[in-house]
Structure 1
């Protein structure tokens, strides 16, 4: 059995299982309680020190 066949067999069986479990773990992590508040505050970081309050294209006109 060649190295390629060994890797292909692993990817078809245990690799797929590992990726599915990883995906499910990410879904559980994202949907945990209080996650929305944390992600909302992280999303607002670029606007934290924005004094203009708008898009640069609008303020130049």
Structure 2
């Protein structure tokens, strides 16, 4: 059991961290893309459409 834990821990420390970093950078780039302002503004107004 100790070997399985060490193997999973090693995987998470290397590839898991890389995956989370790439995913975070992708999400930031998606949110800050040049054509995204109009759709973000429209989505921000959704809760107030019925008022």
Q: What's the TM-score, normalizing by structure 2?
A: 0.84
Is there any run of 5+ residues in structure 2 with no aligned partner, and where? none
For 1:26-54, what per-residue CA distance to the aligned partner results, in whole angstroms no more than 9, with x for missing partners? 1111111121211111110111121xxxx
- 1:49 aligned partner: 50
- RMSD of aligned residue pairs (Cα, Å): 1.2
In 2: Cα distance, 1:12 partner to 1:47 partner: 43
More helix as a share of residues: 2
Whose radius of gyration is greater, 1 or 2? Answer: 1
Encode CA deviations 1:2-61: one digit per residue, 9 max, x unaligned. 2111110001111111111111111111111121211111110111121xxxxxxxxxxx
TM-score of the superposition, structure 1-length normalised? 0.72
Paired residue total: 50
- Post-superposition, which runs of at least 4 consecutive aligned residues in structure 1 deviate over 4 A? none
